Amino acid sequence: QRNTLVAPSLLASNFLELGKEVDMLNRSEADWLHLDVMDGRFVPNISYGIPVIAQIKKAAKKTCDVHLMIEEPEKYAEAFKQAGADILTVHYEACVHLHRNIQQIKGLGMKAGVALNPHTPVHLLENVINDIDVVLVMSVNPGFGGQHFIPQTLKKLRELREMIRASNAYALIEVDGGITLDNAADIINAGANVLVAGSTVFSSADPAATIKALRES
Ligand code: DX5
Ligand code: ZN
């Protein structure tokens, strides 16, 4: 049994105090910093991008986990590498040539992740599962923080865990959206290795304590 990792999503942080937020996360038990990039096309929202991530990287002492919710991610992979991404995750739904995109990310020296929207079945990753470092299972529709966890995700997590086991793959299962202290244990029991949490962490009175509690769920 691997330890559960926690990846706070900075989307819910106070952007006016970004340096302080990163310091707080550096001192916390957070494992990764989850950085959500939205282009207003793949998802109906626009967040932050390359220059902001480059600044965060200068202050961060943790793995930078960049979640691209953008079309044509292959055009920007190199720029995100330069900005400091350690893990680069692209959406299955945004990639016509997913296998090539995964090789590109790994060739640039990053870990490669593939994200699945709530409607996308896990079995569609069968032919790339042995090539990827992370599968990011979206448990809300991407684009916004603070939404409710979609319960059907638990079934997908069990299927994915079985696929990874049967294929002898090494991919970590990361779950993103609507994770709270109340549902974290069920999500871990269904197969999650990494929990992303935005509003649960940043709207709590003591974010570091909430990160610790998520880890121990
Ligand atoms: C949603 C993003 C998430 C988001 C999660 O499109 O991918 O990472 O920040 O926020 P919460 O934890 O508030 O659902
Ligand atoms: Zn995300």
The pLDDT of 172-189, averaged and rounded, is 98
Q: Is pLDDT at 207 greater than 60 in this prediction?
A: yes
**Interval 69-90: pLDDT, tens:** 999 999 999 999 999 999 999 9
- The pLDDT of residue 47 is 98
Q: Is pLDDT at 54 greater than 70 in this prediction?
A: yes
Q: Is 31 annotated as a binding residue?
A: no
What CATH number is given for 5-215 in this structure? 3.20.20.70
Task: Determine if the pTM surpasses 0.90.
Answer: yes
Q: Is pLDDT at 124 greater than 80 in this prediction?
A: yes
Q: Is pLDDT at 59 greater than 80 in this prediction?
A: yes
Atom nearest to 141 CA in ligand 1: 6
Average pLDDT across the chain, whole number: 98
The pLDDT of 118-125, averaged and rounded, is 98
Q: How far is the CA of 34 from the centre of ligand 2 (A)?
A: 6
Q: Is pLDDT at 1 greater than 70 in this prediction?
A: no
Cα(105)–Cα(109) distance, rounded to whole angstroms?
7
SS (H, E, C) the chain: CCCCEEEEEHHHCCHHHHHHHHHHHHHCCCCEEEEEEEECCCCCCECCCHHHHHHHHHHCCCEEEEEEECCCHHHCHHHHHHHCCCEEEEEHHHCCCHHHHHHHHHHCCCEEEEEECCCCCHHHHCCCHHHCCEEEEECCCCCCCCCCCCCCHHHHHHHHHHHHHHCCCCCEEEEECCCCCCCHHHHHHCCCCEEEECHHHHCCCCHHHHHHHHHCC
Q: Is pLDDT at 18 greater than 80 in this prediction?
A: yes
Which active-site residues does the annotation give? 36, 176
Q: How far is the CA of 59 from the centre of ligand 2 (A)?
A: 20
Q: Which amino acid is at 60?
A: A
Does the ipTM surpass 0.90? yes
Q: Is pLDDT at 2 greater than 80 in this prediction?
A: no
The pLDDT of 2-27, averaged and rounded, is 96
Q: Is pLDDT at 112 greater than 80 in this prediction?
A: yes
Is the C-beta atom of 94 inside 6 A of ligand 1? Answer: no
- The pLDDT of residue 100 is 98
The pLDDT of 89-103, averaged and rounded, is 98
The pLDDT of 157-181, averaged and rounded, is 98
- The pLDDT of residue 81 is 98
Q: How far is the CA of 27 from the centre of ligand 2 (A)?
A: 22
Is the C-beta atom of 49 inside 6 A of ligand 1? Answer: no
